[in-house]
Amino acid sequence: MRSSGISLGYNGTSLIAGFLPFIATAVYGAVGWIGPALIFMSLGVVSTACGLMTRETAPARVRGVSEQMRTNYADTTATSHAT
């Protein structure tokens, strides 16, 4: 079920993004280079905001294992460089 939601979002944005070069060309003809630059900058801001608002979905035990692995790696790296 989760992958179908991802697929729907991906295909929907692909459909919209397919027309973006035509839209950017029309905006460029109307207002110059600043128009497409503002379009792409605003899309970057929206993408960043969506990424920052995404919730963590990994179970707590998986996050704990990940943190433990990171700590163990840091310890082994520190000792290997010390020798």
Domain ranges of the chain: 2-82
pLDDT of residue 71: 72
- Chain mean position to CA 77: 29
pLDDT of residue 30: 96
CB contact set of 68 (below 8 Å; sequence gap of 6+): none
pLDDT of residue 79: 65
Tokens 């790296």 locate to 77
Q: For 11-26, what is the mean pLDDT? A: 90
Which tens digits make up the pLDDT trace of 30-67? 999 999 999 999 989 998 998 888 877 766 666 666 66
- Chain mean position to CA 6: 13
Specify burial of residue 17 (Cβ count, 10 A radius: 0-12, 13-18, 19+): exposed
Q: What's the CA gap between 79 and 1, in Å, rounded?
A: 45
